Structure 1
Amino acid sequence: MWLKKTDVVCITGGASGLGAELAREFSSRGCAVAVIDIIRPALADLVPTVRYLSADVRDLDAMTACAGTIADELGTVTVLINNAAVRRPWTPILYEDVADMQCVLDVNLMGVLLTTKLFLTGMTLRERGTIVFVSSALSMQSPAGLATYGASKAGLVGIYESITGEFSANEHIKTLLVCPGQLDTEMFGDITTPSRLIAPVVNKTALAKRIVLRVEKGGEGFLYTPFYVHFLPVMRIVPYTISRRLRKLSGMDDVHPGQRTRDYT
């Protein structure tokens, strides 16, 4: 097994949702775990053995201070989970607030770049590290009304690809890209998937176990779930008329009851 009890795990956005489940799973394996989040965990999500730190991933000074605290108290971070993300209201681009757009891009992209840069130094010096990028199925096919969020998750794939390329000759640094469909978390609790049969909601606890198992075994590459996510890249290589028809059949552009995708008056 690649993962050892001496490993130090840092999870951004780990106070709730998938991040909280990841903190619980890594902690149960005996690793030292630190969570960096702008919010404090609810009592149900609190893991007694986890070190919680408060910071905004967009704030370089605050994140640098957190990195220093983790190094002093727990040691060098050898597993980084880039999980922190935000989503703003489901809104057609003509109505989307610019401040909301900037927030999503700053947290979901710049936050990942800053965090990765901060912790990579220690990993390279120690010659041991795994970086997990939690993206989304929406990085491959983004529904109407969610342009900024979809763009941020697509950008995260680009970050993963570039960093993987940088360390392709270094067997000590591993990278893993996670692209789940809709999770049973608060972020997308306001929508219903078009088909629970084809696109079932992903259980956050089950996904956390799968991610930790991949890290535990030293796994790299991609983790797509549920099964339909594996076929989303095909939508970009088939003729446009087919791709457009598939989008319509999927119902992905009409999943949110409050969106006004065709009302531009």
Structure 2
Amino acid sequence: MKKKISFSGKGSRADIGNMTIYRMLPNRYTDAVGPFVFLDHIAPTVHEVNATAKKAGTGAHPHRGIATLTYILNGEAEHFDSKGHHAKVGAGGIQWMKAGNGIIHDENLTPDAHDKDRLTHAFQFWINLPAQHKAEPPQYLAIRANGVPQQILNDSAGWIKVIAGGYDHLHSAIPDYSKQFIYHLHLEAGKQFSLDTEDGLEYAAFLPELGATINDSAFDAGEFIEFDRNGGTILIVNKNTVAMDIVLFGGEHYTEPIVAEGPFVMNSHLEIADAYKDFFAGKYGTINYG
């Protein structure tokens, strides 16, 4: 039986600097899918040669109570934070930062110097931490493209990458605090992919650049699709004349209260107030750019 679709829609614009951003989550229908409370699609952008020194980013800013996960499809992301972490991750790689009890970070996306197309394209997810982990110290993890598990699909249908969670015998190095998954599926023209789902888990999909037929319904590029919580199959068919990509994500329902304000996601308004108080008191530290 095919899984039912609860709703679909397109994100709202949330541009930052020279980045074109579509905010897919939260949206008018839901505040979370599994542990994921935020998804920004940093749309594909071609950068002019004379814009080499121009960085696309939000500048230094705090977080608390979440883990951020940035998946880079094109370009290079550079990360700095107030706990001394610094790394550059290129196309196909992942940056994961557990904000825990408070951190300041700065993340910039620029074209890869070796990419003649000068393209940037990325996703950023926020993973809501269970209450017991919101008070833990921050952590950071950089995963290069060759460290992201990938499986070639049967019948030359394409491939699937495991950005978070597990699929078949593959498992991402990103820590799990509850059951979670992010898959990047690349499907060749005329091919299809079927995913058997698990009862009770929450599932969503996003089509970044091309449309697809999902469980017999046609969806356009830029659409966010959420499924019901009953078990069933998700069948994706690529009727385009070229290969297409889709992001599938979700996981276990977050059962604790969710209170989000600005860069903080906590379990109560008092905890939000404490997050701001500690930030303004300088307890998150400062970034040393070296």
Q: Which has the larger strand fraction? A: 2
Greater share of helix: 1
TM-score under structure 2 length normalisation: 0.26
